[in-house]
Chains A and B, each alone.
Chain A
Amino acid sequence: MGFLNKNVSETQIRLKDRLWLYIFSYIALFLLIVPSMVVIPMSFSASQYLEFPPKEWSLRWYENYFFSWKVENGFNDWMQATWTSVKVAVLTIIVAVPVGTMAAYGLVNGNSRISKMLFPIFISPMMVPSILVAIGLFYFFVQLKLVGSVLGLVLGHSLVAMPLVLIIVFSALKNYDMNQEKVARSLGATRFRAFREITLPQIKFSIVSSALIAFLTSFDEVIISLFVAGGDNSTITRSMFLALRDQIDPTIAAISTILIIISSGLLIIMQIIGTKENKS
């Protein structure tokens, strides 16, 4: 067992002194990843009940998700909700990314004292508990008749997504040499043209990943959707939450599996973009 006496740090700690830390950490990592994955086999179960491991396999819950028709209103609730979610998430990108990028640009280049003052205000949507934001928005949207509308959802989701866009683009611009823009402008380009032709190509990967994160944030958002969405414009997360609270419908396992695939897919795309940006 010679390897147990190997030094593992600068301070003469041997592996055997620290074995507990390794075991503990691997267990903790295991518990972080594996529980969410349990929904994947569940979703292929043939049974009504949640038994694990499933005795028989089937695709009936996916069928239920994609093709179920409710008799009373004549359309597929799950598909309708998914469609609303996708629509809202795409619109959230369109709102949050330009607004967040503009603000990040203004904060990086502008008066540093004002920027320091504005920054905490700008990330406040992340700090205020979302249940408070949701209740506040609900009361506000009732007055504006925006409850249950796509516009209300897009506004609410953009509010949560914008701080993330701001932080990502802000740090990208911080690492970027602004003198390049000055050069372009001294050669006669307008500020906008200098940004579009010099800066934008160099920070485009950060902007793309901020757009992906905005999409994911909107798509996964539950609480604001719960309060603001309604009627025909329920989002997928809202429908899931309501279904979960009332009964355990295995259709949710199928939807969860699809959601896991979407978010891991986006995560992988972002990792690839990240390594590309580091290389260039």
Chain B
Amino acid sequence: MGGAILEKLNEEGLQKVAFKERLTLLGLTLPYLIFVAALIIIPVGWLFYLSFIGRDGGFSFENYERMTKSRAYIRIFITTFKISILTTLICAIIGYPLAYFMSQLSRRWASICMIGVLIPFWTSLLVRTYAWLVLLQKKGLINNIALDIGLISEPIKFVHNTTGTLIGMVHIMLPFLILPLYANMRSIDKDCLKAASSLGATPTRAFWTVFFPLSLPGLTAGLLIVFVLCLGFYVTPAILGGGARNHGSDENFQ
């Protein structure tokens, strides 16, 4: 009898300690939570709220109506989406073979190639945008070389238009696609491919029926990250795109 009571008391005590423990651990995440709540959820939520307030101060869809009626806003939205989709597609076309190539190399060579992906990743955005401005402008390196070897007869306009924006954005977004895709491709079991070819599949068929579907999760993740980042991108379009491409992400709320 006494033993059972003691056991019960002990259990209650342990539960109390465990509860306190959990509370402490939750408490440790509290500063972070306050940070995010105060600096993301409240400000962005407030912008969202403001977007529904009309000029008279009441609730209305006035701002959205104005947005959908104004041609300028619609054009900005279409350009934003067009550029984002194009950038994502070009990143996929360049990034997929490159990630595949790296995933087929030995670990040592792959990590050397990885430096090529990581250096631009860690170089300041502004530096890279500036570099492209230097390369692409009317009297820039690329135009000069092309003129010298007689490829073109007069300079091509690369900057302050969509082409410049696209080149700069693809260069900046490519690492964001390659990193998740490469990690995914590395984890694909090579025995699956061996099995496919031992069953008589040609290399091409083995790639498309085995390797490609297995790499899709990484590809989707990468594409999603690139697309979302493109939609909210500001710096590169502002400098390389000039007035031709405006960003829609902020005008939404103003």
Whole-angstrom distance from the CB of A43 to the nearest CB of chain B? Answer: 10
Taking a contact as CB atoms under 8 Å apart, the answer to whether A52 and B144 are in contact is yes
Interface Cβ pair total, 8 Å cutoff? 235
Taking a contact as CB atoms under 8 Å apart, the answer to whether B123 and A132 are in contact is no
Chain B interface, >50% SS class: helix
Taking a contact as CB atoms under 8 Å apart, the answer to whether B232 and A132 are in contact is yes
Chain A: residues with Cβ within 8 Å of the partner, total of 81
Name the interface residues of B90-144: CB closer than 8 Å to any CB of A.
94, 97-98, 100-102, 104, 113, 116-120, 122-135, 137, 139-141, 144
Known: A103-B31, A124-B36. A52 touches B140 (CB 8 A): yes
List chain B residues, Cβ under 8 A from A103: 28-29, 31-33
A198 within 8 A of B: no
A93 within 8 A of B: no
Known: A38-B141, A266-B122. A133 touches B44 (CB 8 A): yes
Taking a contact as CB atoms under 8 Å apart, the answer to whether B31 and A99 are in contact is yes
Whole-angstrom distance from the CB of A33 to the nearest CB of chain B? Answer: 5
Residue of B whose beta carbon sits closest to that of A10: B194
Taking a contact as CB atoms under 8 Å apart, the answer to whether A140 and B29 are in contact is no
B146 within 8 A of A: no
Question: In the bound complex, how far is the Cα of B141 from the Cα of A24, in angstroms?
Answer: 22
A183 within 8 A of B: no
6 residue pairs of the A-B complex, CB under 8 angstroms, read A9-B193, A10-B194, A10-B197, A22-B101, A121-B36, A263-B124
Name A residues whose Cβ lies closer than 8 Å to a Cβ of B.
8-13, 17, 21-22, 24-25, 28-29, 31-33, 35-39, 42, 49-52, 99-100, 102-103, 105-107, 109-111, 114, 118, 121-122, 124-125, 127-133, 135-137, 139-140, 155-156, 158-159, 162, 166, 191, 216, 219-220, 222-223, 237, 240-241, 244-245, 248, 252-253, 256, 259-260, 263-264, 266-267
